[in-house]
Amino acid sequence: MTEDQPSSSGIGAAQGVATSSRGARAPSGSLAERLIGRAIQVTGISTVVMVVLIFAFLIREGLPAFVRVPLSSLLSARWYPIEGYFGLLPLIAGSLIVTVGAALIALPLGVATAIFIAEIIPDWARDILKPVVEVLAGIPSVVIGFIGMLVIVPAFRVALDIPTGLTAFTGIVLLAWMALPTVVSVVEDVLDTVPKTYREAGLALGMSRWQTIAKIVVPAGKSGILTALMLGVGRAIGETMTVMMVTGNAPRLPSSPFDIFQPARTMTATIAAEMGEVAQGSTHYHVLFAVGLTLFVITFAINMAAAMVVFRRTKRAERMLS
């Protein structure tokens, strides 16, 4: 019924409960009571107002960019704002490579970790490991970027024998790791919702535990794994501080999708690095807002798509149970 999305901090979403039955028959009470009820409704609706406000302000400050800078210039390959070059392609390509790379790594690792925690280890070990994975969600991204700079970057430079460890690859690895709590918690929730009878049926047919997991449990949770992928992507594309600190921030257009062992610069890092230094109302200022608007639209689309998948899954689960 509901399109709840498990929050990124690893807390499961509220299970769908028919909203209409909740306290619907209670008397509505006095005037004061009705006023408070109204106030509570207003706080609920305020969330919608906030999304609209965010969108409105991004448009208000971002749209002038498309007026001042010709589209052909925005779609060029050169980002050099001081001389008036506002080509967004390197930034978009940087975000794309880092995000897709991180998602591709995070998904199998996350699914494996979720299976490990939910299906393989005993309960007492789960009680220890689950909070440990949740702790990762709590480590500030600036701290991960800091360790990345001081430990991972030099290690990659030596291990991969490249001129600098500040590369898109470094960002991909750290982002994949950071997206893990999101992926693990979503996949775990899904594995939990696969009915016990499915497993029992598999085991009764003489399948091993692994065959049951691989052939029954995971396929039954397919749509949830898709949701996890999308939320992981959503988290990776929005990550700012870690990426800014470890990818080297060179706005260059990669020569191929596999050109990841060189510095790159994402849209988020560009905003964070440059907004502090631009004059309010300048072209550069508006272009940075336009980059933010683009990010908003992308994450909006990803989250809507993820919500649709969850919505359809709940619908199907209801059908199966009825």
Partner 1 sequence: MISRQVSERIAFGVISLTAVLVILPIVGIIAYIVVEGAGAISWSFLSEMPRDGMKAGGLLPAIIGTLALTVGTAIVAVPIGLGAAIYLSEYSKDNATTRAIRIAIINLAGIPSVVYGLFGLGLFVIFLNFGTSIVAGSLTLGIMTLPVIISTAEEALRAVPQSFRLVSTSLGGTRLQTIRRVVLPQALPGIITGIILGIERAAGETAPILFTAAAFFLPKLPSSIFDQTMALPYHLFVISTQVPGMPLQIQYGTAMVLLTFVLSLNLIATLIRRYYRQKRVW
- Enumerate residues 285-314 that contact partner 1 by CB under 8 A: 288-289, 292, 295-296, 299-300, 302-304, 306-307
- Burial level of 236, CB count in 10 A (0-12/13-18/19+)? buried
DSSP for 40-62, written as a single string: HHHHHHHHHHHHHHHHHHHHHHH
User: Rule CB under 8 A: which of 205-224 touch partner 1?
Assistant: 207-211, 214
293 half-sphere exposure, CB direction, 13 A CA radius: 21
Nearer Cβ to partner 1, position 151 or 204? 151
User: Rule CB under 8 A: which of 64-103 touch partner 1?
Assistant: none
Q: Rule CB under 8 A: choose which of 54, 89, 96, 100 binds partner 1.
A: 54
Q: By CB under 8 A, tell whether 53 contacts partner 1.
A: yes
Nearer Cβ to partner 1, position 29 or 77? 29
Dihedral sign computed on CA atoms, order 151, 157, 158, 160? positive
Q: Rule CB under 8 A: choose which of 31, 44, 197, 321 binds partner 1.
A: 44
> Nearest Cα to 310, choosing from 215, 225, 234?
225
C-alpha pair distances (Å), 27 with each of 31, 34, 211: 12, 10, 54
Nearer Cβ to partner 1, position 76 or 100? 100
**How far is it, in rounded angstroms, from Cα 275 to Cα 252?**
19
User: Rule CB under 8 A: which of 159-198 touch partner 1?
Assistant: 177, 180
Dihedral sign computed on CA atoms, order 137, 139, 142, 144? negative
* Minimum CB distance to partner 1, residue 248 (Å): 12
User: Rule CB under 8 A: which of 111-150 touch partner 1?
Assistant: 112-113, 115-117, 120, 129, 131-136, 138-147, 149-150
Q: By CB under 8 A, tell whether 20 contacts partner 1.
A: yes
Q: By CB under 8 A, tell whether 317 contacts partner 1.
A: no
Mark the segment that binds partner 1 (CB under 8 A) among 37-45, 74-82, 84-92, 160-168. Answer: 37-45
Nearer Cβ to partner 1, position 2 or 72? 2
Residue 256 C-alpha from the chain's centroid = 24
Helix ranges restricted to H, the chain:
31-68, 71-74, 89-115, 123-138, 141-147, 153-160, 168-193, 196-204, 209-212, 218-220, 222-238, 241-246, 267-274, 283-321
Q: Rule CB under 8 A: choose which of 31, 71, 197, 276 binds partner 1.
A: 276
Q: Rule CB under 8 A: choose which of 51, 75, 159, 204 binds partner 1.
A: 51
Nearer Cβ to partner 1, position 135 or 160? 135
Site string for partner 1, 233-262 (x = CB under 8 A): -x--xxxxx---x-----------------
